[in-house]
Structure 1
Amino acid sequence: MESIVIVNGFSTSVYLAPYLRKVGFHLVHVEDESTPKYFKSSHREYNYDLCIEGKSFSEVLSELELFNVYAVIAGTDSGSSLADKLANQLCPQKSNDLSLSAARNSKHEMFQVLMAAGLTATEQTIFRNFSLLEAWLENKTYPYVVKPTISSGGTGVRIVHDFPSLRSAITENVSTRTIYDEEPEVLVQTALVGQEYIVNTVSASSIHEVVEVWKVQRNKSGVPILSHMELVNNNDVSLILVEYIRKVLDCLGWRSGPCHSEVMIVNGKPSLIEVNPRLHGDMLPDILTPIIGTNHVLKTVDSLSLDKPLAKNLAPPIQSEFCIKMMLHFHESGKIIKQPNWSLIEKLDSYKGKISRIVNGTYVSSSHSVSTSAASIFLSHPSKKVISNDFQKIKEWELSIDECLNSNELPRKVIL
């Protein structure tokens, strides 16, 4: 029996294992030491035939060499580097270019590779000291984006419009360990001003099939926290994005597996924000199957099934109805003492599901990233008006989330 290895199979990748088992694969989970704690709560050990954790690379490799490994997949960003190394050793025919692994994980190296290949990319510099930064800023204009070179879910990302804000954002990042509990390397980029999109793809043998295109809405200043995103597979802009993202993936040596990319359309032209070599996180993939006939997880399974080869599609699958994912946020800090009245939104016509991070007894800060948001809500309906009305009702209901907090109690530990 052939084996599939999933490295850090958390977040959306928890849905992979059951489908892979159905098509006949033996499943092994490998946990990298750098896995953020908040991911681990989503781990489903019962989905695997074997789970390996707390071992060195050579020990993991020796154990996996006992199996007929068909493919290695990264479940989260934190597992990407290890997945690349394991695939190169165990199943080179299903591996990605190992020499470009760092460029797929570090945003700075990613943009260096793109610029060398002549693809559109924003100007950037690694922060060393403020004197060098001020020299780099000459003849450039605000706004800028400050972010860790390696992060996830928008953690540490700030948009700044003047030098005091820039200094503050850098100081905050430098003094805060990354989501992977590492000392950060801080990147400063000229901000892309336009419309943001998400492009979810699956690749096999360097064929990149686009599965979903999402139009993204964020807070445009300070912390660019996600408001909501709308599935726009039928939008004409998807054709531009499909062509562009294929060039980006080729440039980064991506040949096999799912990718989640963020692109800004600036004056009608695409420019990369980042590529994440994994599934789109914080998703309920089965909600999309009735809408587009597949989803990011199912298409990944298809790419590994010999009887379902990928096609170089010119456009993503046509969607049959409207779909939105919206984020709910904490606006205060405190201890969660109760649950909100979910029934008020669960009865809405377009409501399809939720991912809640409201856990009684935990301490939270006001939301500043996906991982610190209160919940993700999924809506779909043939009528855009119904979704719009339900969206407004949920935004009004969102204010009740802060009533679930005791803001007077000082936290012993805040979820980051």
Structure 2
Amino acid sequence: MVIVEPYSSGNMLAPAFRQGGFSPCAVTLTGSSAPNPATLRLSDFDEHIAYDGGELGPLVDRLRALDPVAIVPGTHTGVKPADELAAVLTPELANAPDLGPARHHKGAMIAAVAAAGLPTIRSLCTSDAGDALAWIAREGLSGRDLVVKPADSAGTDSVRFVPGGHELHAAVAELLGSTSRYGSRISEVLVQEHVKGVEYAVDTFSYEGRCTVNDVVRYHKVSSRRHMALYASMEILPMDAPGNDAVIGYVKAALDALGIRFGAAHTEVMVTEDGPMLIEVNARLSGGGHPWTCELATGDNSIDRMVRYVAGDRNIPDGYPLRLTTRVVFFSVRSAGTVSGIAGLDAIADLPSCYHLQVNLQDGDHVPETADIFDAQRLGAVVLAHGDPAQVAADHREVHRIAAGAGRPGGLTIDPNREGVQ
């Protein structure tokens, strides 16, 4: 079993496949720079191949000698090479080769989904700040709020909010030529109309072109003075929660439009007053160890479904039971500084629904202003899980109170979820 770039949640794949009776092989890219390098555990693998990103032929030859049963990405940087390798070595367990660019490049992704007739956010992919200004004039978006982000990245990396479209030229020019969290040069950006609504994510496992739903997640994100879309909390919803049918239907159609036939996907959509609209599809596992959270809530996840399928199980359910109301609450800071009073966070562990408390800080640490999910994960998070949704909501409020008095002057920032928490 070949796992390309087994970082983040991708480090959960090798142990699961080994338990399922398979020998794991890691392929890592020497030219990439993972934003979470400590998550790589090469000791979990029987083989490790370092790939320099050049000619694919020698890598194909080495892997063919191992007779792989399947090839999957572990994180964002593994999507493109895993796609290319699977198309050659395991074509029966591969995504549509002709749509490969649309699965890792946001501009091509939006275009492919729009071509399938699905509603999408008005967008422009460009490498020229002047083109962006001309585009907003043509689209009648002058004076409207906009979003600018790299065309090829993930995890809210370098996402910029441009209120009223003012200083759009500067925002585009700032990103072009800079380096992403993944160590690559940003040569194109996506400029989009800023749409409002409720953000959802749907985690899926597909096989033989059939998409099965592992979970539906509702996000709560907030903005700071300089950054937007900061993760505050996320909650796994019941499969039959109101509105989920529309979200799931849209996601399945988007995955079809992108030629996803095998493997995990993490799809984010904004449900606006006009219905669901695609934010992005990630043709790999959800990051940050989310498959573990999914299993806590539902008893299953994308990894286990993948292992079962490769082992011969064709009875993979489309849907899930919600066993525990499960919410992940993220820490953040609104300004850089030195932290203190971290021991005060220990009280969170005593809350009735606290299933896991992760604090990656100690007094005296200097932390930057939280800019994206990678910064938030370096601070830590709380996993709340309980059979009673009211208990989870009450404990979320208590996490907010405790965090406000610990961490640094003004406390760590925890924004209560809008739904039944404030």
Matched residue SS, 1:70: coil
Matched residue SS, 1:288: helix
Equivalent residue, structure 1, for 2:173: 171
Contact 2:236–2:297 under 8 Å retained in 1: no
Equivalent residue, structure 1, for 2:87: 88
Residues 204-253 of structure 1, C-alpha deviations (whole Å, 9 max, x = no match): 11110011001111115752211111111331322112221111111101
Change (3 A) 1:247 1:323: same
Letter in 1 for 2:229: P
Matched residue SS, 1:317: coil
Change (3 A) 1:176 1:376: farther
Which of 200, 207, 212 aligns to 2:210? It is 207
Give the structure-2-normalised TM-score.
0.87
Residue 300 in 1 paired to residue 296 in 2? no
Contact 1:8–1:35 under 8 Å retained in 2: no
Alpha-carbon shift at residue 346 of structure 1 (Å): 1.6
Which of 211, 216, 219 aligns to 2:219? It is 216
Residue 186 in 1 paired to residue 220 in 2? no
Residue 225 in 1 paired to residue 227 in 2? no
- In 2, distance between residues paired with 1:157 and 1:223? 7
Letter in 2 for 1:275: V
Residues 28-82 of structure 1, C-alpha deviations (whole Å, 9 max, x = no match): 0110234334322111112111111244533322221111211001000100111
Residue 330 in 1 paired to residue 333 in 2? yes
- In 2, distance between residues paired with 1:360 and 1:98? 50
- In 2, distance between residues paired with 1:130 and 1:12? 35
- In 1, distance between residues paired with 2:362 and 2:68? 38
Which of 154, 157, 168 aligns to 1:155? It is 157
- In 1, distance between residues paired with 2:364 and 2:72? 34
Alpha-carbon shift at residue 256 of structure 1 (Å): 0.4
Matched residue SS, 2:68: strand
Equivalent residue, structure 2, for 1:410: none
Equivalent residue, structure 2, for 1:35: 32
Residues paired across the two proteins, number: 399
For structure 2, the residue ranges without an aligned partner over 5 or more in a row are 412-422
Residues 82-126 of structure 1, C-alpha deviations (whole Å, 9 max, x = no match): 101111121111011122111110100101111222111111113
Letter in 2 for 1:306: G
Equivalent residue, structure 1, for 2:414: none
Equivalent residue, structure 1, for 2:41: 44
Change (3 A) 1:164 1:150: same
For structure 1, the residue ranges without an aligned partner over 5 or more in a row are 406-416
Equivalent residue, structure 1, for 2:74: 75
Equivalent residue, structure 2, for 1:121: 120
Equivalent residue, structure 2, for 1:391: 396
Alignment RMSD: 2.4
Q: Which moved more, 1:320-329 or 1:163-172?
A: 163-172
Letter in 1 for 2:155: G
Alpha-carbon shift at residue 360 of structure 1 (Å): 8.3
Residues 374-394 of structure 1, C-alpha deviations (whole Å, 9 max, x = no match): 222211112222212221222
Alpha-carbon shift at residue 21 of structure 1 (Å): 0.9
- In 2, distance between residues paired with 1:307 and 1:54? 32
Alpha-carbon shift at residue 347 of structure 1 (Å): 1.9
Matched residue SS, 1:401: coil
- In 2, distance between residues paired with 1:236 and 1:258? 24
- In 2, distance between residues paired with 1:11 and 1:48? 16
Letter in 2 for 1:241: V
Contact 1:263–1:272 under 8 Å retained in 2: yes
Equivalent residue, structure 1, for 2:320: 317
Residue 259 in 1 paired to residue 265 in 2? yes
Matched residue SS, 1:367: coil
Matched residue SS, 1:366: coil
Residue 291 in 1 paired to residue 297 in 2? yes
- In 1, distance between residues paired with 2:231 and 2:291? 19
Contact 1:108–1:126 under 8 Å retained in 2: yes
Matched residue SS, 2:374: coil
Change (3 A) 1:338 1:173: farther
- In 2, distance between residues paired with 1:347 and 1:280? 28
- In 2, distance between residues paired with 1:134 and 1:286? 43
Letter in 2 for 1:270: P
Matched residue SS, 2:261: coil
Equivalent residue, structure 2, for 1:409: none
Residue 247 in 1 paired to residue 253 in 2? yes
% identical equivalent positions: 25
- In 1, distance between residues paired with 2:364 and 2:32? 23
Q: Which moved more, 1:212-221 or 1:69-78?
A: 212-221
Contact 1:212–1:296 under 8 Å retained in 2: no
Contact 1:216–1:228 under 8 Å retained in 2: yes
- In 2, distance between residues paired with 1:218 and 1:404? 20
Alpha-carbon shift at residue 260 of structure 1 (Å): 0.3
Matched residue SS, 2:69: strand
Which of 323, 347, 351 aligns to 1:348? It is 351
Change (3 A) 1:290 1:224: closer
